[in-house]
Chains A and B, each alone.
Chain A
Amino acid sequence: MRLVRTGAVLLRYLYLLRGSPARWLPLFVWVAIDILLWGFITKYLNSITTSGLNFVPRLLGAVLFFDFFVRVLHGVAGVFFEDVWSRNFLNTFASPLLISEYLGGLVVTSVGSSIVGLIVMLLLATGFFGLSFAVYGLMVFPFLMILFLFGIALGIVGCAIVMRFGPASEWFIWPIPAMISPFAGVFYPLSTLPEWMQVISRLLPPAYVFEEMRKLVAGSAVSMSSLAIAAFLAIVYIALACWLFTRVFRYAVRTGLIARYSAESVS
């Protein structure tokens, strides 16, 4: 594996960002709007409840963490879509670039783009609504890391789906976070969900993160074993996602899909 080839994928995205507001604005505009919206909602909830419960770290913090996860997922898929949109598969894959180098490039690029979103969200949430990451203490790092890993896994799965089923299937990828959020318990404890939904939740790393985050804010001890399960699941999903992408790539090479990708399907 050569890092310079991974760097080429990153450099390509930086070039695209440089000249295109349509690409760099979404890095932070949507998450900023989300933080503003939920910031005012939490402010309003704080003003009408008499329990003295502070909704800022509970709801606004949850939105911030979930939006970070979404940015990571979209970060990976978005870089891949650039190759789809510019019909660049033949030039990219008829080169010495290894699949691991290509996926590495998608991940590195996503790290950069999601950090931009995270910084903007933090500035807004802290500056306007008084959210302090100190509430979460050092737990903020495992929370972010687990969400990051799961976002990477789902992003790679998204790339595999689009490679297999053609450019139009990108519409399956954008709603993935919305499909996950009810099961992840972003805003409510998992015990709120019916049993069958809780079974699915237990397979999703973000569900553990949000559950433990609520415990932490409520002053209870965080279960490290729960976070360890979440981290383990996220790593397993990354391995499965890479396996899936490699399998789809091999299928695409076997059938000629890569060479005639714009035709969407040769079958």
Chain B
Amino acid sequence: MEVPVLDVKGLGKNYRDKIAVESLSFQVGRGEILGLLGPNGAGKTTTINMILGVLEPGSGSIRIEGIDLAKARSKALERTNFAAVYAPLPGNLTVRQNLQVFGMIYGIRNRQERIAALLQEFELEEFQNTKSGVLSSGEQTRVALAKAMLNEPHLLLLDEPTASLDPATASDIRRKIRTIVEKGVCGVLWTSHNMYEVSEVCDRVLFLSHGKVLLEGDPKVLPGEHGKETLEELFISVAREPLVYGGS
């Protein structure tokens, strides 16, 4: 049986008395995009932070390609990368300098070729010598995505990756990521509040509320299974009436 790129079991995290994530278990397979959905404060970013090793779980385990994150953090993170709207790259370095520095941190071989390819792929060539901080938010998002692709990650975590992008660029980025995933090596955990995007790009979704999974399934058929027309309708219903779906 193939080892999933991400295997989360019984993950839990409390902030003092507040439960942020409770007994969360899921897997992401190769060539799969899993959408993590839920209202603000549902525990999505907490989950991503735990998978990135910057937040210690209170309970449970995280395995990236079978490697226990708690025991071999660096090795597990070598094959992981992420992009998030709240983690732009240092604004006082140019786009190319940022990619150079992170290319070294991720131990990229043929770094110059890889950076040149990413600059082209994310249409950043004209900005390569511009400081990242003066770019528009959409351009900064593209820089963050280029950094996220530096090590050709087997596990890619994307926290609202297209939130600052115009519809045309967002569509382009979705297509690019979809193409990368279809090669069958990389698995993606994707959070978004754009339900159209989630329907288009995700193979499977998890609905979180108060740190627990309430629903799981194919975003194209899940609304129908719960008597809703669209994923957005289902999202609103889950967010407003979590008890109906087994939440607390």
Q: Which residue among A8, A95, A253 has the maximum number of chain B CB atoms within 10 Å of its CB?
A: A95
| Besides A15-B101, A86-B92, A94-B54, 14 new A-B residue pairs in contact (Cβ under 8 A), listed by A number | A7-B104, A8-B101, A11-B101, A12-B93, A12-B97, A82-B92, A89-B54, A90-B54, A91-B87, A94-B49, A94-B77, A96-B105, A253-B56, A256-B15
Q: B91: which of A12, A86, A92, A266 is its contact (CB, 8 Å)?
A: A86
Q: Is the interface of B mostly helix, strand, loop or mixed?
A: mixed
Count of B interface residues, CB-CB < 8 Å: 33
Q: Which residues of A contact B77 (CB under 8 A)?
A: 94-96
Contacting pair A94 B102 (CB below 8 A): no
Q: Is A157 an interface residue when CB atoms closer than 8 A count as contact?
A: no
Instruction: Identify the A interface with B (CB < 8 A).
Output: 2, 4-5, 7-8, 11-12, 15-16, 20, 82, 86-98, 250, 253-254, 256, 258-259, 266
Contacting pair B104 A253 (CB below 8 A): no
> Nearest CB to that of B78 among chain A residues?
A96
Contacting pair B54 A259 (CB below 8 A): yes
> Nearest CB to that of A1 among chain B residues?
B74
State how many angstroms separate the Cβ of A222 from the closest Cβ of chain B: 43
Contacting pair A94 B52 (CB below 8 A): yes
Q: Which residues of B contact A7 (CB under 8 A)?
A: 104
Q: Is B89 an interface residue when CB atoms closer than 8 A count as contact?
A: yes
Contacting pair B55 A16 (CB below 8 A): no
A-B pair count, CB < 8 Å, reads 86
Q: Which residues of A contact B106 (CB under 8 A)?
A: 95-96
Contacting pair B102 A95 (CB below 8 A): yes
What CA separation (Å) do A89 and B90 show in the bound complex? 10
Q: B55: which of A92, A95, A256 is its contact (CB, 8 Å)?
A: A256
Question: In the complex where A5-B107, A11-B100 touch, is A98 in contact with B74 (Cβ < 8 A)?
Answer: yes
Q: Which residues of A contact B53 (CB under 8 A)?
A: 93-94, 253
13 sample A-B contacts, Cβ–Cβ < 8 Å, listed by A number: A2-B107, A4-B104, A5-B104, A87-B88, A90-B86, A91-B102, A91-B147, A92-B105, A93-B53, A94-B87, A96-B105, A254-B56, A256-B55
